[in-house]
Amino acid sequence: MSTKTLEQVESQFETFQILDENGKVVNEEAMPELSDEQLQELMKRMVYTRIWDQRAISLNRQGRLGFYAPVAGQEASMLGSQFALDKEDWILPGYRDVPQIVFQGLPLYQAFLWSRGHYEGGQMPDGLNVLFPQIIIGAQIIQTAGVALGLKRKGKENIALTYTGDGGASQGDFYEGMNFAGAYNAPAVFIVQNNRFAISVPVEKQSAAKTIAQKAVAAGIEGIQVDGMDVLAVYKATNDARKRALAGEGPTLIETLTYRYGPHTMAGDDPTRYRSSDLDDEWTKKDPLVRFRKFLEEKGLWDEEKENEVVEQAKADVKEAIKKADAAPKQKVTDLIGFMFEDLPANLREQMEQYTAKESK
């Protein structure tokens, strides 16, 4: 391929945006059809998530949560996309994608139990089509291709949607999953939340490609790059991708350009060692809540009172949820073994007997 051809391909992937940094509509014809209530609901979810994120970070510091990957900065990317889903669609999340599965129906206390590594946190309520948040980078892409193909074979009017990061897009599984989904025309949507870093490795060091969206080309599927700080653009792109998938027009790769304000996880990385404060400032100016708040205020759909209501609700819910998580029975080894398989293999049966005896003492 000549350099010219590469440039032609790359230049097609411009960032799709509806609201600019000041909350002004820059792409009226792309405006999704959402009612005033739906617009307010999107804002509520983003404000709620930011508060819960702050509370979770503080609970983690107090030793009251386990694994936690902060989400501030990524609210539009996470919640705009989830908002486009039907209740029966499938979500295959990564470890950071807890807000999406909570708004899809996972009770908050279970999300906290998941954070603590408690088995009850991974037991999805009946009817909630969500897989356990994936820790293995990129593994959920292949699983999504499989789930989507299953939905198609069963004649369901639903899609499988997955989230990974820029780091996930550097894994072999990513290409394999997209390629398979494309080949079988499976109703899958792959979202790559490009927050510019895989822990400390910048996206520029992970790939020579100018965009992650263009990686769709080789898989023969649709690809789009979206302003991930613009909740309306993320919603619109996901909704369109979902419709295409259900119409038999194939999978879509959506790259959302976003940023995590906090550390990678609460396990102790220090972002000031791998990110400049200039870059932090540049992205803080794009904040998804600030721009959407301006847009809604202009329409008379948002004010301080509404904001405070959501803040108080989020604080109260977190308090309640952590109390409920604290009340969960202490996890036993037999619980872990018992929930792994429908029929226990011989070696685990043996361990089960040993631990049952031990725990009954």
Minimum distance, C-beta of residue 167 to ligand TPP, in the bound complex (Å): 3
255 scored as a contact of ligand TPP (CB under 6 A) = no
Question: What b/e sequence results for 180-206 when a residue is b if at least 16 CB atoms lie within 10 Å of its CB, and e otherwise?
Answer: bbbebbbbbbbbbbbbbbbeeeebeeb
> Which CA distances in Å does 75 have to 24, 79, 93?
19, 6, 14
164 scored as a contact of ligand TPP (CB under 6 A) = yes
In the annotation, is 118 catalytic? no
Please count the CA atoms within 13 angstroms of the CA of 70 that sit on its side-chain side: 25
Question: Among residue numbers 260 through 279, which ones bind ligand TPP (CB under 6 A)?
Answer: 264
Select 255 or 317, whichever has its Cβ closest to ligand TPP: 255
Q: Is the Cα torsion angle 201, 206, 211, 212 positive or negative in sign?
A: negative
Q: Which does 137 bind (CB under 5 to 8 A by kind): Mg ion, ligand TPP, none?
A: ligand TPP
Nearest CA to 192 out of 285, 97, 271 is that of 97
The DSSP result for 304-321, as a single string, is: HHHHHHHHHHHHHHHHHH
Rg of the Cα atoms in the chain: 21
Q: Which does 317 bind (CB under 5 to 8 A by kind): ligand TPP, Mg ion, none?
A: none
In the annotation, is 260 catalytic? yes
Catalytic position from the list 55, 96, 244, 260 = 260
Contact residues for 327 (Cβ-Cβ < 8 A; gap 6+): none
Count of other CB atoms within 10 angstroms of residue 103: 18
Minimum distance, C-beta of residue 336 to ligand TPP, in the bound complex (Å): 20
Select 196 or 244, whichever has its Cβ closest to ligand TPP: 196
Minimum distance, C-beta of residue 168 to Mg ion, in the bound complex (Å): 8
* Residue 139: both structure tokens together: 């593994």
3-state helix, strand, coil split of the chain in percent (to 5) is: 50, 10, 40
168 scored as a contact of ligand TPP (CB under 6 A) = yes
User: In the chain, how many H helices and how many E strands?
Assistant: 14, 8
Stretch that binds ligand TPP, among 6-14, 20-28, 106-114, 161-169 (CB under 6 A): 161-169
Stretch that binds ligand TPP, among 16-24, 190-198, 224-232, 323-331 (CB under 6 A): 190-198
Q: Is the Cα torsion angle 233, 238, 241, 243 positive or negative in sign?
A: negative
Question: Among residue numbers 96 through 155, which ones bind ligand TPP (CB under 6 A)?
Answer: 96, 135-137
Minimum distance, C-beta of residue 196 to ligand TPP, in the bound complex (Å): 8
70 scored as a contact of ligand TPP (CB under 6 A) = no
Rounded to whole angstroms, how far apart are CA atoms 233 and 32? 8
Catalytic position from the list 50, 196, 264, 275 = 264
Select 177 or 187, whichever has its Cβ closest to ligand TPP: 177
Minimum distance, C-beta of residue 279 to Mg ion, in the bound complex (Å): 13
* Residue 4: both structure tokens together: 């010219």
In the annotation, is 264 catalytic? yes
Q: 8, 24, 199, 272: which one contacts ligand TPP (CB under 6 A)?
A: 199
Q: 32, 167, 177, 228: which one contacts ligand TPP (CB under 6 A)?
A: 167
* Residues at the site binding ligand TPP, with contacts judged by CB under 6 A: 96, 135-137, 164-168, 195, 197-199, 264
Instruction: Name the residues annotated as catalytic.
Output: 260, 264, 274
